[in-house]
A and B are shown apart, each in its own frame.
Chain A
């Protein structure tokens, strides 16, 4: 049993791609060894990565595959041997099996006598298998963006491969990838170790050998180191905390091989700039962690994660350099802020004509007009429900100004702050809070975890803006397909669903869609899919509950949520499960009957005339159904779905008795049609809350 190490040495990989590639490499190597019967049952696979390397260590690799034996069956004995002498068929089979003709055996099977050969295969050494198979696995790694670097363009990879270490214990695995032959020499930290090779004596020494060369190959360890160093540097400022930011930790750990943290300062005067701007500069542009004081407000410090280890002088130089860059960025932001105030948002509407929304559709001026038209249509739906006049003025104002921040210098510089900047400017320019908040929140929720806009104006602006984008994009054939969604329309639709679900707006999916213009069935289907996503992936309802509820309608999102909740609450009861199972049975019977072209007859009216029905159990069922359906429809009207479903569950004795005693598919065609008609009525009559047949029962 041996240890296997593979290290791929690269020029710096993009930080965002490293974690995925590290995991994929580990999986591929493990699968390869399993496939090739080279993995010990108790083997352990460990993966490593830094910006310049991906590595995998497998403890428990067999030195060679075990030998195998296989009995191979050939032609029938009579064909292979004529008068005891081998025929051409026997010789061909022996050749194929790799044995001498004399080694062929006779076996007797149920079909008769056949020629057979025992094939023995010698296991191949791990060194050989790995040398032959690993390069394919490595070159098959997925990268979001690839490049060529060698003349003749023989292969693509994320960045040029510069060295390879491949060891089975201390023996070099003779493999070659991208023109690089594997050896036992790795490389250390560019500056702290320099260019001297780092010899890995044996596979299991990997991590420790590189630690001596100032490289921590375990990314989880670097994460811990960085978090501890952030804590420690923060303690220099009494009462301060660093702003927790796991995505940023994840980024910087993939930018460092030997991380350290320094605390730097900026002039407190910049704290006059909005916190959103300061944090964006620090976090998104400089990859610095922001700090806050005991009061939760931003403090004039930053934490930078370095990829080096330096003496005091070096630390002072680096701190000074980083502070200068940050100061320049803040000064820029201050300059842009002041400059932008010269032209208030209200004077920027016209210049939206110069900002492209989508080249086949038009400018943001055009989009603003469209958004206004849509909120106008939404208003007429809302007016029938409650007086909207108070919000109307601020809403139209917000919609009109929503995109104007795209023309500001600050948004051109910090595009990720669009909307936020508009909201801050609106406030600074004396517009009302309603308008400012609506503009500020217009891109909320940005994700499924994010909250919805805080006021009605922001919610309606968010709905109108997104449904406009979705319908316009569908209109030019830019609907998402498979994994391709270049305009993030799914995210836009998710936001619409979330706003409808979590606001108090009396609007349905249909209302929102109808506000855009003529009906677009494919948009409607697309939005219903997103309702399903919301119920399943955001609210966490079981898939069968969601399917059952959506089958009974998805237009009113909050109603669908309420129905899911009720269904989730009752589905566990024995009675309800039995009724659900019966509904599934009913559905199957009806489907089969329909396929056979059976006719259904409605031979009763208002629970009075049961026509052809003869058995007491079937009469009892339809009577019970009539009563329950009446009560259910009252409870449904009150939206008391829980109670309504509990009513449905009371059908159990009648349903059980019916299926025990009555055969729906009676030989008598009239009776058959009547029974089919009845169960069809039961199914349809209770379908308003959910299609119970979708519920999975054990």
Chain B
């Protein structure tokens, strides 16, 4: 088999990791999306950032895109596995409500990355998504590109235990996967993250992130102090719960003014819930959560996330 056509395609169209992100951002900005920055609290997926989890609630239309570093402590492999990461990068897009040509727009966004669709095989294969701790689910596809899953495409139906109306489309591009495809690489760590415009010298993904993968694997699997993690968990949870109780009293109160209701810090409460979720993930990776505890702890996080979502929906509806 001749590899020359492949070589030529690779050389002419291989965007760097950061160029890939630029292109996606500018493509969606040109189509009316707000570009947000990555959320600055640890999350397992772009869905958990408030720009998705809370914005999808209620009737107000919203279009937003952001890159989101997503932490999955149990997926860490000390930087040894060329295809697994503790922290990967999603480009997360929320289109609320979804335009009728949302799939066509998505395919156009691939073309914006320099991909000639006529030279690839693309399939939308059923893949439904669920985040039980967030009371969220949707139906959709994994987008298969020459046999590689590069995007998760979901029509959100429920979030925080609430039925959504309008529903929204969530597109989650796996940036490392796409870069691997475009640059034709067997290892994530070889991805060219940036290239010096003068010398052409590459800075690789490994140079940028390897130490982080190694050290966080060590921390998550070996060093994290289980007792302290539980302590942190309990503290964050206690504060979040206390705030939720106050929120519910205030939001139901007939004497409180609309301004008082609107200033209640539900966004801060949600951050506390996210902290709990991340601590749970570390405890889980650390092997510190027994069977009997597991269901209970997920239930506690769900209580917080769903509690915030419900209160947030009420707060948004305050006249």
Contact = CB atoms under 8 A, between A and B. Distances in A.
24 contacts: A51-B124, A149-B167, A151-B97, A151-B166, A159-B139, A192-B118, A265-B1, A286-B147, A307-B121, A308-B118, A308-B120, A312-B5, A313-B119, A316-B1, A316-B3, A318-B119, A318-B121, A322-B147, A324-B148, A331-B83, A353-B291, A354-B290, A356-B294, A359-B295
Given A12-B141, A320-B6, A356 B146 contact: no
A310 B291 contact: no
Contacts of B148: 321, 324-325
B5 A313 contact: yes
A191 B147 contact: no
Contact of B291 (A13, A191, A321, A354): A354
**Which of A159, A310, A317: most chain B Cβ within 10 A?**
A317
A308 B287 CA distance: 46
Given A13-B126, A153-B165, A321-B147, 10 more contacts: A148-B165, A153-B163, A191-B122, A255-B125, A308-B118, A313-B9, A314-B118, A317-B119, A318-B121, A332-B81
Contacts of A255: 123, 125
Interface in B117-140: 117-126, 128, 138-139
Nearest to A355: B291
Interface stretch (B99-107, B199-207, B229-237, B249-257): B99-107
B186 A327 contact: yes
Interface string B31-74: 00000000000000000000000000000000000000000000
Interface in B172-207: 180-181, 184, 186
B157 interface: yes
**Which of A15, A322, A363: most chain B Cβ within 10 A?**
A322
A160 B147 CA distance: 25
A288 B148 CA distance: 12
A321 B145 contact: yes
B2 interface: yes
A75 B263 CA distance: 74
Nearest to A15: B126
A314 B5 CA distance: 8
For chain A, the bracket of interface size reads 35 or more
A286 B149 CA distance: 10
A310 B184 CA distance: 19
Interface in A103-152: 145, 147-152
**Which of A145, A191, A353, A359: most chain B Cβ within 10 A?**
A191
Nearest to A316: B5
Contacts of A148: 157, 165, 167
Contact of A332 (B3, B83, B128): B83
Contact of B123 (A195, A307, A325): A307
B179 to A, nearest CB: 13
A159 B98 CA distance: 13
Contacts of B103: 11
B82 interface: yes
For chain B, the bracket of interface size reads 35 or more
B28 interface: no
A147 B83 contact: no
Contacts of B121: 304, 306-308, 310, 318, 322
Contacts of A317: 5-6, 9, 119-120, 146
A304 B124 contact: no
Q: Do most interface residues of chain A lie in helix, strand or loop, or is the interface mixed?
A: mixed
A310 B146 CA distance: 12
Given A162-B100, A191-B122, A318-B121, A326 B147 contact: yes
Contact of A318 (B98, B107, B146, B289): B146
A226 to B, nearest CB: 14
B221 interface: no
Given A14-B126, A147-B155, A152 B120 contact: no
Interface in A298-338: 304, 306-308, 310-314, 316-322, 324-328, 331-332, 335
Interface string A226-266: 00000000000000000000000000000110000000010
A353 B157 contact: no
Given A149-B155, A331-B83, A16 B126 contact: yes
Nearest to A156: B157
A319 B147 CA distance: 9
A266 to B, nearest CB: 12
Contacts of B6: 316-317, 320
A454 interface: no
A359 B155 CA distance: 30
Q: Do most interface residues of chain B lie in helix, strand or loop, or is the interface mixed?
A: mixed
A149 B98 contact: yes
A362 B291 CA distance: 8
A190 interface: yes
B147 A147 contact: no
B118 A320 contact: no
B5 A319 contact: no
User: Sorted from nearest, which 6 A-B pairs have the closest CB atoms?
Assistant: A321-B146, A14-B126, A314-B119, A12-B124, A322-B147, A313-B5
A145 to B, nearest CB: 6
Contacts of B122: 190-191, 307-308
Nearest to A328: B83
Contacts of B104: 195
A308 B180 CA distance: 22
B222 to A, nearest CB: 15
Contacts of A311: 119
Nearest to B117: A191
Nearest to B121: A306
B186 A324 contact: yes
A356 B1 CA distance: 48
**Which of A145, A354, A363: most chain B Cβ within 10 A?**
A354
A147 B155 CA distance: 8
A265 B146 CA distance: 14
**Which of B117, B124, B181: most chain A Cβ within 10 A?**
B124
A325 B147 contact: yes
Contacts of A321: 120, 145-148, 181, 184
Nearest to B139: A147
A191 to B, nearest CB: 5
A299 B305 CA distance: 50
A217 B314 CA distance: 48
Contacts of A159: 139
Nearest to B187: A328
Nearest to B143: A12
A326 B146 CA distance: 11
Given A15-B126, A325-B148, A356-B294, A316 B107 contact: no
Contact of B184 (A12, A162, A320): A320
A311 B297 CA distance: 54
Interface string A147-174: 1111111000001101000000000000
A160 B124 CA distance: 14
Contacts of B155: 147, 149, 160
B180 to A, nearest CB: 8
A11 B124 contact: yes
A316 B98 CA distance: 35
B182 to A, nearest CB: 10
A51 B107 CA distance: 17
Contact of A324 (B81, B163, B184, B291): B184
Contacts of A150: 166
A325 B146 contact: yes
A312 B119 CA distance: 9
Contacts of B186: 324, 327-328, 331
Given A12-B141, A328-B186, A316 B2 contact: yes
A82 B162 CA distance: 68
